[in-house]
Amino acid sequence: MNRRTGARPLLIGLAVLLTAILVVAPLVFIFVQALSQGWAVYAKNILDPLTLHAIWLTAAVAVVVVPATVAFGIAASWALAKFSFPGRGVLATLIEIPFSVSPIIAGICYLLLYGRQGLLGGWLAEHDIAILFALPGIILVTMFVTAPFVVREVLPLMRAQGSDQEQAAVTLGASGWQLFRRVTLPNIRWALLYGAVLATARAVGEFGGVAVVSGNVRGQTNTLPLHVELLFNDLNAVGAFAAATTLTLIALVALVVKAVLEGRR
Amino acid sequence: MTIDISSMHKSFGQTEVLRGIDLSVDKGELVALLGPSGSGKTTLLRIIAGLEWPDAGGLHVDGQDWLALSAAQRRIGFVFQNYALFPHMIVRDNIAFGLTVRPRAERPDRRRIAATVDELLHFLQIDALGGRYPAQLSGGQRQRVALGRAMAIEPTVLLLDEPFGALDAAVRRDLRRWLRGVHDATGTTTIFVTHDQEEAFELADRVVVMGAGRIEQIGNADRIHDHPASPFVAGFMGATIELPVTIRAGRAGTALADTARLPAQALADGPARMFLRPEDVAPAADPAGPWQVASLSSTGPQIRLILRDTAGTEIPADLRRRAPGAAALTPGTRVQLHPEAAAIFPADA
């Protein structure tokens, strides 16, 4: 009993201390640095056309990628949870690959596939289609990286629920679409939103994979995380940290939304 | 609706779950499919519903080929074992679901749907629950809602999978009587699946006993109880004690029991198997008897004996504690059996 009561405050204290050192302090430091020369300089840096373009580009990528990830997540979960077919286990494993592979590998794969010397590079160049060092490349790599996020949340839930409710809806005369919209979707909505929030956070913050395929052209293919790195390399610390605050704020909002959703589930 | 099922077969992978089912159900009949798990009864029910398809065989309802229809087109009312209510809809919306998903041309208007739901809630005696979510209901209430949802579409046939499986004993008895009342009031042809004999016999007009993918016997309680059609039915109906006998001139004989009180059997001479219920064993003290009382336990009104023969075979015997001669049956007493009822089958059955 004595040992337990002694260990408890110690463990809690350690956890709080480590969280403070490893997580809270760097976060606070971002804001301290960004505002170190006052609000006016901060605003000037945020409103810099190149930074604004990076914010816009990042948002555009997320707007395209997240709905695609959600659609893919629903389709894949549905197929894996409600049907049995040859290769089901393989498909389930394949979907998890982006989790286990470093994003930079994904970037390099796309480079090998779509690059000038790549498998499809010649054909793409002939038809004047730019994938690498352009928006499509960034979107594709981000999609790859975020692909498992929704499946991971939705699939276990669908598996646990089984298909009795869907079968009940079918016997009551529901069409495929009515069944999906009125029975399946409401049952997975919180898991779906939760997965979408996580995917958004990841899509916005993706660095490694995008770094390989974007080409880092300022004002054109520079997403926010890449822009932060460029500014930092330019020794523009305030600019870098100012840009970083927008990323941090997006992450914090995502966290709050996630916490709220977890409460709803 | 008259349902006709003919030589139906179904396998899941290597497992044959239905091995040639022939069954007719008359209009307005209430039929129970009774059998242990794995007997194929639920699969048969799901095939009638259109949730599974047979590998071979026919399914005709009022002459129409139902295997050519989808589940939705058959317009059956299916009540799932775990109810499968929609958890995000209140009771009213659950019940109205089947009406609201109809194509616009066939869909009743809002007021008609609301009126139908009111009627059903009243009929099912759950008027006050319309605004609740399924999670806020007890098991018995959920069962009623599930039935209401199935009945709202005015089904051609009502199919229930283990309708009382998840409920406690008292609620089961109530709901059984209530369901019988619902059936008598609506006259809908109804088939339900159960593994509980009491439930099947109390509720159904006719009971279909299934075992290992085949129909073993069809009949009412008395018929199936007194004249089981096969060793399987005998065992399933509680005649779990099996003793070897020899048939000679229509009489069964064995050293292990006095069979003089058993009626004559229409069986050829030769070895046979006799099945007894523990309550039909009728043991009596007899110094020359082949059995010895090994142990005794009492539940108050009843006592259960475990009897052992010289070969070490043990059988249970149940009798009333106050029955004449019961007091003499103490452990160690030698006894003879004087059964009056038994099911006897040829040794190769």
The pLDDT tens digits for A26-60 are 989 889 988 888 899 999 988 999 999 999 999 99
B84/A173 CB distance under 8 A = no
pLDDT above 90 (res A150): yes
Residue B80 touches chain A, beta carbons under 8 Å: yes
Residue labelled with tokens 């990286």: A145
Residue B7 touches chain A, beta carbons under 8 Å: no
Residues 6 or more apart in contact with residue A110 via CB below 8 angstroms: A131, A132, A137, A140, A141, A144, A209, A212, A213
A171/B76 CB distance under 8 A = yes
A170/B72 CB distance under 8 A = yes
Cα–Cα distance measured from residue B312 to residue B291, given in angstroms and rounded to the nearest whole number:
10
Chain B, nearest residue to A190 by Cα: B88
The answer to whether residues B72 and A174 touch, using CB atoms and an 8 Å cutoff, is yes
Where does chain B hold its CATH 3.40.50.300 domain(s)?
3-226
At B90, phi and psi to the nearest 5?
-70, 170
Residue B77 touches chain A, beta carbons under 8 Å: yes
| Residue range B308-344, pLDDT digits in tens | 988 888 999 998 988 888 888 888 889 998 988 888 8
Residue labelled with tokens 């520079």: A222
Q: How far away is chain A from the Cα of B135, in angstroms, using its nearest Cα?
A: 14
Q: Which of A178, A186, A187 sits opposite B101 (nearest CB)?
A: A178
Q: Which of B51, B75, B82 sits opposite A173 (nearest CB)?
A: B75
A165/B97 CB distance under 8 A = no
What are the pLDDT tens digits along chain B (349 aa)? 899 999 999 999 889 999 999 999 999 999 999 999 889 999 999 999 999 999 999 999 998 999 999 998 999 999 999 999 999 999 999 999 999 999 988 899 999 999 999 999 998 889 999 999 999 999 889 999 999 999 999 999 999 999 887 778 888 888 888 888 889 988 999 999 999 888 899 899 999 999 999 999 999 888 898 889 999 999 888 888 988 888 888 888 888 888 888 888 888 888 999 999 999 988 888 888 899 899 999 888 899 999 998 888 899 999 898 888 888 888 888 999 898 888 889 887 6
Look up the pTM and report it: 0.79
A170/B82 CB distance under 8 A = no
Say yes or no: domain B3-226 is CATH 3.40.50.300: yes
Integer distance in angstroms from the first to the last C-alpha of chain B? Answer: 36
